[in-house]
Each structure stands twice: as structure tokens, then as C-alpha cells.
Structure 1
Amino acid sequence: MNSTTKKVYWVIGFLLFLSLVPSIAGVIRISQIATGAGYTVENQRFFNDPIPVLIHIVAVLVFSILGAFQFAPGFRKKNLRWHRISGRFLVFFGLTTAISGIWLTLVYPKVPTDGDWLFGIRIAVGFWMFFCMILGFGFAMRRKFIIHSHWMIRGYAIGLGAGTQVFTHLPWFLMVGGEPSGIPRDLMMGAGWLINFLFAEWLIRKK
């Protein structure tokens, strides 16, 4: 296995790993809704109105897994036809992720552990991801593939925010314990998206 092939596997593996925890959480949530298990006051909104959250979970799962292969340069170059076809699905599920995330934020009752800032953060993140997907697809249709890749990187980075949030919460779990609430939770959630946003901008400029 040459160094280029190793790099491809490392990129795909890292992105799939970052998607792993939220993917597992999503599968558990689907199982809970399907069986009625794990009902609490905090998650009763999912049982009362399950369709939107199920759409969101499935969209995020497909988006994160497809994207892992889209953003490995060596794999993409060797599978251009696959890249074009799956890229359309990626845009669709990315838009579905963004729209359903905004809908969940606006319509579902506020979670007791959420602070006042998190509502605005989620709305901003949802609209940013939506515009990234639209612009990325638009530039691909105009065959401006470099700019297209930039906007898709931005959108995918935001979509993987839940994976990074696992690590922004980790110090709290280790040192404090229990679920954070209020401003600490808002900051840790926001930090996950901010880290991914900054990394995407660094990667774009590095390229």
C-alpha cells in the first residue's frame, strides 16, 4: 500500500470515526422511538412527534457516511462518476439535515438543559449549512469545481458538528460529571461547530 492510498484510508477512516458516536446515538434514538423504550420528560418531544427527528437522524447518517468518501481526494479522483452521482444525494441529504434541524429548533419544545444562546446558535448553524449546500451545488452546475469543493467542505464540516461536540463535552464529563446545562452546555455545543468551521476555513486556505 503506497503513501497516497494510506492517506485516502486515513481521511475516510477519520471522517467515519467522527461520525461514529452521533451515528450510534441516532440508531439508539430510532430504536427507542420504535419500541417506546427510554421515555423521559427530556425526550418526550421525540415520542410525541417522531417523524421530524427520524428524518433528521436518517439524513445526518447518510450525509456523514457519504461525505467521508466524497472528501478523500484520491478516492474521489479514481471514482469521478460515483462522485458526481453520490454528490447529488449528498446535497439532498445535507439540505434535509439543515432544514430538519432548523424545524426541530423552531417547533420542538425547548430542552430544560439548553441555555438561551443555543437556540440562536442552532438557527445560525442550520441556515449556514443550508446556504453552503446550495452554493456548493450551484458552483458544481456551473463547473466551477474548486469553489464548489470549498463550499461543500464548509457544509460537511458543519454537518459533522455533533461528532466534534463529543470531544468538547469530554472535559466536563471527566472533571465535573453529569449533563451540563445552561451557558456551559451552550458553549460546548457551539464550540463543536466553531472548531469544525475554523478547521474547514484552514483546510480551504491550505489547499
Structure 2
Amino acid sequence: MNNTTKKDIWIIGSLLFLSFVPSIAGVVRISQLTTGSGYTVENQRFFDDPVPILLHIVAVLVYSILGAFQFAPGFRKLYPKWHRVSGRVLVFFGLTTAISGIWLTMVYPRVPTDGDWLFGIRMVIGFWMVICICLGFYFVMQRKYLIHSHWMIRGYAIGLGAGTQVFTHLPWFLFVGGDPSGIPRDLMMGAGWLINFLFAEWIIRRKNK
């Protein structure tokens, strides 16, 4: 196995691993909403208005899993046509992920565990993701492929925020117990997106060297 193949496997595997827990949670949520099972007071908002959450889950599943293969250089070079076609599909599902995230943030009532900052954080993240994907698409149309890749990395990193949030919440679950609420929850949610943002910028700067 050559080094490029090993690198591709590591990149794809890492991104799929980061998508794993949110993907499982999303499939469970779809099952609950389509079968009417698992109804609680806490998730009542999803049953009352299931369209935004279902649209968001499906878009995130496609975007996170299909997108993992876009960033493996050997795979991309081996299948350039696949990269171009799937890239256009990912623009659609990435924008759907971001816009549906903004939608459900605005239409669903605030849950008791959310602090005062989380609404604003989610709105900023949603619009930032839209900007990243739109700029990525614009630059590929201009054949500025390096800049295109930078913006697509940024957009995908934000899209994987839920995966990183599993790890930012883990210390709380291990050492405190129960579900965090208020400012601690806001900070842990925000930290997931911030870590991905910083990692994306690090990757971009490495690519530029």
C-alpha cells in the first residue's frame, strides 16, 4: 500500500468517524419521527413540526458522509469526474444543511437546557457555512481551485461540528454527569464549532506552504 493510499484511508476514516455518532443519532431521530415512537416532552417540538429537522438530518447525513471522500487527494486524483459531480451534489446538501439549521433555530421553541448565547451562536454558524459554500462554488467556477478548496474545507469543518461536540461534552458527562445547561452547554456547543474552525485554518495554512 503506497503512502497516498494510506493518507487517503486516514483522511476518509477520520472524517467518517467524526460523522458516526451524529449520523446514528440522526437515523434514530428519523425512525422516531416516522414511526411515532420515543415521544417525550423534550422532543415534542420535532413531532409538532418535523419538516425542518428531517430536512436537516438527511442533508447532514449526505453532506458529512459523501463529503469525507472529497478531501482525500489520491482518491480525488484517481476519480476527478466523481469529484466534480459529487461536489455539485454536496453544494446543494451543504446549503440545505446550513439553511435548515437556521430554519430550525428560528422556528423551534428554546429548550430549557439552552443558554442565552446558543441561539446567536447557531445563527452565526449557519450563515458562515452558507458563505463558505457559496464562495467555494464561486471560486471553482472561476477555476481558482486552491481558493475553492480552502472555502470548502471551512464549510465542511463547520458541518462536522456536531461530531466534535460529542467530545467537547464528554468531560462533563464523565466528571459532572447529567445534561449540561445554560452557559456550560453554550460553551461546549460553541467549542465544537470553534475547534473545527481552527483546525480547518491550520489545514489551509499547511496547504499553502
Partner SS for 1:116: coil
Report SS of the residue matched to 1:77: helix
Paired AA for residue 193 in structure 2: W
The superposition leaves residues 11-31 of structure 1 with CA deviations (integer Å, 9 ceiling, x where unpaired) of: 000000000000000000000
Counterpart amino acid of 1:120?
Answer: G
Match of 1:143 in 2: 143
2:15 match: 15
Tell me what 2:94 maps to: 94
Unaligned runs of 5+ in 2: none
Cα displacement (A) at 1:120:
0.3
- Partner Cα distance (1:161, 1:51) in 2: 22
Report deviation, 1:39. 1.0
Aligned-pair CA distance for 1:45: 0.6
- Mapped pair 1:35 → 2:29: no
Q: Which residue of 1 aligns with 2:162?
A: 162
Q: What is the correspondence of 1:1-207 to structure 2 with a 5 Å cutoff?
A: 1-207=1-207
Q: Shift of residue 129 of structure 1? A: 0.2
Question: Aligned-pair distance for 1:72?
Answer: 0.8
Once the 2 structures are TM-superposed, how far is the Cα of residue 32 of structure 1 from its aligned partner? 0.6
**Deviation, structure 1 residue 170:** 0.3
CA RMSD of aligned residues (A): 0.5
The offset of 1:112, in angstroms, is 1.1
The TM-score normalised by the length of structure 1 is 0.99
Please tell me the residue identity of whatever aligns with 2:58: V
Give the 3-state SS of the residue equivalent to 2:40 in structure 1.
coil
Structure 1, gaps ≥5 residues long: none
Write the distance in 2 (CA, Å) between the matches of 1:103 and 1:111: 16
- The one-letter code of the counterpart of 2:130 is F
Distance in 1 between the 2:71 and 2:25 partners?
A: 24
Deviation of 1:51 after TM superposition, in Å, equals: 1.0
Q: CA deviation at 1:165?
A: 0.2
Shift of 1:38: 1.3
Instruction: Determine the C-alpha separation between the residues in 2 that align with 1:111 and 1:77.
Output: 46
What is the CA distance between 1:100 and its match in structure 2?
0.3
Instruction: Give the aligned length.
Output: 207
**1:48 CA drift (Å):** 0.4
1:146-167 deviations in Å (ceiling 9; x for gaps): 0000000000000000000000
Which amino acid in the other structure matches residue 142 of structure 1?
Q
Q: Secondary structure of 2:117's match? A: helix
User: What is the CA distance between 1:40 and its match in structure 2?
Assistant: 1.2
TM-score normalised to structure 2 length: 0.98
1: CA distance between counterparts of 2:111 and 2:57?
A: 18
| Percentage of matched positions with identical amino acids | 81
How far residue 4 of structure 1 moved from its aligned partner, in angstroms, is 1.4
Q: Following TM superposition, by how much is the alpha carbon of 1:102 offset from its aligned partner in structure 2, in angstroms? A: 0.3
Q: Which runs of 4+ in 1 moved over 2 A?
A: none
In structure 2, C-alpha distance between the alignment counterparts of 1:54 and 1:47, rounded to whole Å: 10
